[in-house]
Chains A and B, each alone.
Chain A
Amino acid sequence: MKKIIAVVSCIALLSIAARGQSLSVNEIIVEAKKSLYQGYTVNDKQQTLKAYAILERALSVEPANRLVVYHLAYAEYLLARIAYASKDEKIFDQYIDKAAERTEKLLEQEKGWSEAAALLGTIYGIKISQSPMKGITLGPKTTGMMKEAVAVDSTNPRVWMVYGTMKLNTPSFFGGSVEEAQKFFARAVALFENTKPTDQLQPNWGYLDALVWLAKSFEKSERQQEALVTYRKALTVEPNFLWVKNALLPSLEKKMSAK
């Protein structure tokens, strides 16, 4: 009897497989998130594009699924980052404009969703770095948005991180503060470390970024030893994080050894 049941089960599984390798939209999101993380850490454009492709397909099935829209916009932001690094302005503009448009719409529909606000703040941040003139309008807008987002959800680490970047990059005369930025980054890091994701479909990016920003803020306030420790911590979390491994950490070490 047991034998028969085992054979039946086996055939049933085979039958499901034969129906196709097709995943559900939720499975696509999980899959895409993994690819995006890998693509980001090792700066792999192809991996990021794969995630973007499957999310684009998921969007054609469920255009109103806010998580699909969100992750697609995040993928566009990461692709814009890659274009920015390779100084491809046209492609950068196209990806970042798409990401901004998508996220602005999302935030309009999902008013008060702190995740969308944090992503939009990140998108505006890179827009400002690419074209500082945009800081005139986008800078105050992002700071205001983060203030609101923090008030709505003070447990979202990504919001604290983006808020911190605005504090770090705004001159002190106009409300910027390295110390405050450090506090915000530290808070973001603590939230990342102490909050366990309950739903694997939800956004969970940003821990590595928060560590990088915290380290950068240490560097800015001449606390190089703490910056070094923080960069090393990022590498402990993700040994293949190439940005830190090949650029930020060696550069800091070089500076420190020169002293």
Chain B
Amino acid sequence: MKTIIATILILILVSAFASAQQKYTIKGKTFDEDGKPLPFVNVFLLNSLDGGMSDERGVFSFQTAKTGEVTLVASMIGYKKYSKTFKPEPEKTISLSIEMQNTAVNMAEIVVTASSYSSEKGKGVVMSSMDVITTPGGAADIFQSLKTLPGLTQVSESAQLYVRGGDPIETITMLDQASLYHPFTFESSYGGIFSNINTAAIKGMYFSSGGFSTKYGNALSGVLDIDTKDEPQIQRINLGVSLANASISSDIPIVENVLGVRLDARQSFTKPLFVVNGGIDRFTVTPTSRDVNGALVYKYSQTGRLKLFGLYGEDTQGVNVDRPEFNAIFDGASNNSLLNLQVRDVLFSDVLVKASASWNRYNSLWKLGVLDLTKRDNNYKLRADLEYQVAARTKLSFGSELEQRSSSYIGTVQKQDYDFRPNAPSITLDATLVGRRLAAYAEVEQASLFKIQNLFAVVGGRIDYIPEIDLRWIDPRLSIGYKLGEHSTLKFGWGIFHQHADPRLYSPEDGNPNLKALKATHYIAAYDYSFSDQADFRVEFYHKEYTDLPLKNAVLHYDNGGNGYARGIDLVVKGSIPGFINGWFSYGFVDTKRKWMDFEEFAPSSYDITHNVTMVLTYSVTPTWQIGVNYKFATGRPYTPAIGSVFHSNENIYEPIYAAKNSARYENYQRLDSRLTHFEQLFGGKFTVFYIEGLNILNIKNIFGYNYSADYSQRNEIQSYFGRRMIIFGMLVTL
């Protein structure tokens, strides 16, 4: 018996000593970026319970018996997780110094694209998808809601983005890296009314009204960059119906966290809207549109994701138009298709790669008397963007794109702008212009520049080249920012921006294949003050100098003799006021003049809207009832009035005599939209939203243009057909 007990004793002792010998100590200190000790940091070995917490002096110490390769993690809220893998030598104490990086000073904040608005925190003034959905009068449309932000001028009811006195073609729209041309429905001389991108498909968007990154090229004034949603986590169906449209969205996870489908479809039928609100007599075909967005997302690894996104939208409309020379009908129809395959992954553990291959096709048909024009745009694009975090405070971004665009113009157009009669003299067009654009960019973002803690900068450049017309340009850009305090930042931006002219201006027949790219130089100074995560104030001063604008030329058709400027101030205050009021106020002042196209003298541009004021307020009366108002004021738009006419007896028509270009202005634009929203749980607890919206509730007459009598001696005002007072109601159910 004694022998057995002795044996057990020896075994236990050996075991105990063996265990004790394997133990070793890991100790050290945690500190922040300023070198100050950081208490309460949780330091532990991954996949084990061994660890400790740093004390008031930042000191930690713990014992472990783990052998082989171990990963040490240091974690604390507000700081990036620290991790280090090493192979400890048993019996030796390991000493570590751990510097924790504050997440508040991340690179996202350092992107000094001076004029950014975003749906992501940390990228500037935030506009959430809820803001888009609840903006009164915005019809839950991203473009209509974006127009309530400063820097975007209220030229008409159109959803097109008129950025800081620029033409809408000066702003590009990108979706998951693909270029999306003509992202509107009902595009006509009124401009597009709504976007054909369904808000339900959007994960985040970034909008800049100037001074943007070299990542974005071939745009003179602005950029809207949209990211669509990733794979759905839960199955969900949203149904919506209103007086003007019906929609369905569904999220279908196929393999949890791996594979899923999203589908969004909308059909608009404006007939009930005009029957209820009046105005149906203006149409021969009431504006009707439909669009479908769909995405198949495959998360093939922890970091890799493949997304196939498709979009198709189409619309038709027929409108009675009273022209001086005859009573006409404008028939318009268009369709837009986009297919994009995007891959995102992290390579070599810290290089973020995004690449996409896309195809976008747009067809439109415009008919008005002799005008019978079909326009086709076909665009293929390959794009890659890479981001590499070189060091904690340095990020390198670079990438390239290859775009092939073909634009066709087929049909007949009026020879004289004053004669659209069906048998009027016309010009036959059958032109297809094909061009490729190759581009590359690189950009460095540096925090703590010259070791100055609060100074940061972005410097970069891009090069674009169109081989068909041997056109190339280089755009250098620079932004510098200084954090004045915890809440305020001062930023300066400078950059050169180029964009090729409208493809039709390169036509050898009636354009000039040797046209240079249009050029704009941006100077921006901005001051941001963030009251809290939800409340911001921003003021920006900008000056945009245009050169090399296309100008009509008697011999060459067009040359690059045009120039101009746009300068102004934009300010926005956004936030919540205690008492459940949420909203924003924006004001923009712009002074812009140009000499370009057929404006042969320096004159106010057609987008010279001196004062723009927008106030959006939503008030939650109770947790389930919300009321909102959206007030807009804009200085009247410049136009060129007809001041007389000459009668051409052989053609039996009056030719108008115009005053100086843009020498008059329409009445100031004003509009008040309101919305009452009720959130309820119906149909077995399903989240249901009811809303009733009053558009232009004060029925303020906003003039879009004038109809002239046959001899141009009298004129009548034209209102945009979505500009009159209207009531829309509807509901949205989440199943």
Stretch of B8-16, B204-212, B488-496, B698-706 that contacts chain A: B8-16
Indicate if the CB atoms of A20 and B624 lie closer than 8 Å. Answer: no
Within residues 1 to 23 of chain B, which ones have a CB less than 8 A from any CB in chain A? 1-2, 5, 8-9, 12-13, 15-17, 19-20, 23
- Closest-by-CB residue of A relative to B51 is A57
A95 interface hit (Cβ, 8 Å): yes
Chain B residues contacting A171 (CB-CB under 8 Å) are 622-623
User: Chain A interface secondary structure, helix, strand, loop or mixed?
Assistant: helix
* Most interface-central of B46, B51, B623, B680 (chain A CB within 10 A): B623
Partner pick for A19 among B19, B47, B53, CB 8 A cutoff? B19
Stretch of B71-79, B194-202, B305-313, B718-726 that contacts chain A: B71-79
Indicate if the CB atoms of A137 and B73 lie closer than 8 Å. Answer: no
Indicate if the CB atoms of B49 and A58 lie closer than 8 Å. Answer: yes
In angstroms, Cα B449 to Cα A91, docked, is 27
B104 interface hit (Cβ, 8 Å): yes
Chain B residues contacting A108 (CB-CB under 8 Å) are 233-234
14 residue pairs bridging A and B, Cβ less than 8 Å apart: A11-B12, A11-B13, A11-B16, A15-B16, A18-B16, A20-B65, A28-B49, A57-B44, A57-B51, A60-B44, A91-B78, A137-B679, A139-B623, A144-B687
How distant is B15 from chain A, measured CB to nearest CB, in Å?
6
A194 interface hit (Cβ, 8 Å): no
* Most interface-central of A8, A52, A133 (chain B CB within 10 A): A133
Indicate if the CB atoms of B49 and A22 lie closer than 8 Å. Answer: yes
Chain A residues contacting B44 (CB-CB under 8 Å) are 53, 56-57, 60
Indicate if the CB atoms of A141 and B687 lie closer than 8 Å. Answer: yes
A132 interface hit (Cβ, 8 Å): yes
Indicate if the CB atoms of B48 and A61 lie closer than 8 Å. Answer: yes
Counting chain A residues whose Cβ lies within 8 A of the other chain, the interface size class is 35 or more
In angstroms, Cα B60 to Cα A49, docked, is 15
Indicate if the CB atoms of A90 and B49 lie closer than 8 Å. Answer: no
In angstroms, Cα B12 to Cα A19, docked, is 12
Chain A residues contacting B622 (CB-CB under 8 Å) are 170-171, 173-174
B600 interface hit (Cβ, 8 Å): no
Q: Chain A residues in contact with chain B, CB under 8 A? A: 1, 4-5, 7-8, 11-12, 14-15, 18-23, 25, 28, 46, 49-50, 52-54, 56-58, 60-61, 79, 89-91, 93-95, 98, 108, 128, 131-133, 135-137, 139-141, 143-144, 147-148, 170-171, 173-174
B685 interface hit (Cβ, 8 Å): yes
Indicate if the CB atoms of B49 and A23 lie closer than 8 Å. Answer: yes
In angstroms, Cα B620 to Cα A131, docked, is 12
How distant is B21 from chain A, measured CB to nearest CB, in Å?
10
Indicate if the CB atoms of A89 and B532 lie closer than 8 Å. Answer: yes
**Given A57-B51, A60-B47: A15 and B19 within 8 A (CB)?**
yes
Chain A residues contacting B15 (CB-CB under 8 Å) are 15
Chain B residues contacting A128 (CB-CB under 8 Å) are 623
- Closest-by-CB residue of B relative to A139 is B623
Chain A residues contacting B53 (CB-CB under 8 Å) are 49-50, 53
B238 interface hit (Cβ, 8 Å): no
Indicate if the CB atoms of A132 and B1 lie closer than 8 Å. Answer: no
Partner pick for A133 among B23, B51, B77, B576, CB 8 A cutoff? B576
Q: Chain B residues in contact with chain A, CB under 8 A? A: 1-2, 5, 8-9, 12-13, 15-17, 19-20, 23, 40, 42, 44, 46-51, 53, 63, 65, 73, 75, 77-78, 104, 130, 233-234, 532-534, 576, 580, 582, 620, 622-626, 679-681, 685, 687
Chain B residues contacting A49 (CB-CB under 8 Å) are 40, 42, 53
- Closest-by-CB residue of B relative to A140 is B681
Indicate if the CB atoms of B624 and A93 lie closer than 8 Å. Answer: no
Chain B residues contacting A46 (CB-CB under 8 Å) are 40
Indicate if the CB atoms of A57 and B580 lie closer than 8 Å. Answer: no
In angstroms, Cα B77 to Cα A49, docked, is 10
Chain B residues contacting A54 (CB-CB under 8 Å) are 49, 51
How distant is A171 from chain B, measured CB to nearest CB, in Å?
5
In angstroms, Cα B624 to Cα A16, docked, is 59
How distant is A13 from chain B, measured CB to nearest CB, in Å?
10
In angstroms, Cα B9 to Cα A131, docked, is 65
In angstroms, Cα B78 to Cα A95, docked, is 9
Can you add 20 more A-B contacts, CB < 8 Å, to A90-B78, A140-B679?
A15-B12, A18-B17, A18-B20, A20-B19, A22-B49, A22-B50, A25-B49, A49-B42, A49-B53, A53-B42, A53-B51, A54-B51, A60-B44, A90-B104, A108-B233, A137-B130, A139-B624, A140-B623, A148-B685, A174-B624
Indicate if the CB atoms of A91 and B681 lie closer than 8 Å. Answer: no
Chain A residues contacting B687 (CB-CB under 8 Å) are 137, 140-141, 144
Chain A residues contacting B580 (CB-CB under 8 Å) are 132-133
* Most interface-central of B15, B77, B534 (chain A CB within 10 A): B77
Indicate if the CB atoms of A132 and B78 lie closer than 8 Å. Answer: no
Pairs A-B, 5 closest by C-beta atoms? A15-B16, A135-B623, A53-B42, A139-B623, A144-B685
Indicate if the CB atoms of A135 and B42 lie closer than 8 Å. Answer: no
In angstroms, Cα B234 to Cα A167, docked, is 28
**Given A14-B16, A89-B532: A136 and B623 within 8 A (CB)?**
yes
- Closest-by-CB residue of A relative to B104 is A90
How distant is A29 from chain B, measured CB to nearest CB, in Å?
11
Partner pick for A140 among B19, B75, B680, CB 8 A cutoff? B680
Chain B residues contacting A12 (CB-CB under 8 Å) are 12
How distant is A101 from chain B, measured CB to nearest CB, in Å?
11
How distant is A22 from chain B, measured CB to nearest CB, in Å?
5
Chain A residues contacting B17 (CB-CB under 8 Å) are 18
In angstroms, Cα B533 to Cα A89, docked, is 8
Indicate if the CB atoms of A15 and B532 lie closer than 8 Å. Answer: no
* Most interface-central of A46, A53, A91, A170 (chain B CB within 10 A): A53
In angstroms, Cα B279 to Cα A34, docked, is 71
**Given A12-B12, A147-B685: A60 and B624 within 8 A (CB)?**
no
Chain B residues contacting A18 (CB-CB under 8 Å) are 16-17, 19-20
* Most interface-central of B15, B104, B626 (chain A CB within 10 A): B15
Indicate if the CB atoms of B1 and A133 lie closer than 8 Å. Answer: no
- Closest-by-CB residue of B relative to A50 is B53
In angstroms, Cα B589 to Cα A88, docked, is 37
In angstroms, Cα B63 to Cα A19, docked, is 11
How distant is A25 from chain B, measured CB to nearest CB, in Å?
7
- Closest-by-CB residue of B relative to A137 is B679
- Closest-by-CB residue of A relative to B234 is A108
Indicate if the CB atoms of A136 and B532 lie closer than 8 Å. Answer: no
How distant is A123 from chain B, measured CB to nearest CB, in Å?
15
Chain A residues contacting B78 (CB-CB under 8 Å) are 90-91, 94
Indicate if the CB atoms of B42 and A56 lie closer than 8 Å. Answer: yes
In angstroms, Cα B13 to Cα A14, docked, is 9
In angstroms, Cα B559 to Cα A154, docked, is 80
Chain A residues contacting B625 (CB-CB under 8 Å) are 174
Chain B residues contacting A135 (CB-CB under 8 Å) are 620, 623
- Closest-by-CB residue of B relative to A76 is B77
Partner pick for A8 among B12, B532, B626, B680, CB 8 A cutoff? B12
How distant is B621 from chain A, measured CB to nearest CB, in Å?
9
Partner pick for B5 among A4, A25, A95, CB 8 A cutoff? A4
Chain A residues contacting B620 (CB-CB under 8 Å) are 132-133, 135-136
Chain A residues contacting B233 (CB-CB under 8 Å) are 108
- Closest-by-CB residue of B relative to A12 is B12
Partner pick for B534 among A50, A131, A144, A170, CB 8 A cutoff? A131
In angstroms, Cα B680 to Cα A105, docked, is 24
How distant is B379 from chain A, measured CB to nearest CB, in Å?
39
Chain A residues contacting B679 (CB-CB under 8 Å) are 136-137, 140
In angstroms, Cα B687 to Cα A7, docked, is 69
Indicate if the CB atoms of A131 and B576 lie closer than 8 Å. Answer: yes
How distant is B265 from chain A, measured CB to nearest CB, in Å?
24
Chain B residues contacting A57 (CB-CB under 8 Å) are 42, 44, 48-51
How distant is B48 from chain A, measured CB to nearest CB, in Å?
6
Indicate if the CB atoms of B23 and A20 lie closer than 8 Å. Answer: yes
Chain A residues contacting B104 (CB-CB under 8 Å) are 90
Chain A residues contacting B234 (CB-CB under 8 Å) are 108
Chain A residues contacting B2 (CB-CB under 8 Å) are 4
* Most interface-central of A49, A57, A140 (chain B CB within 10 A): A57
* Most interface-central of A4, A5, A136 (chain B CB within 10 A): A136
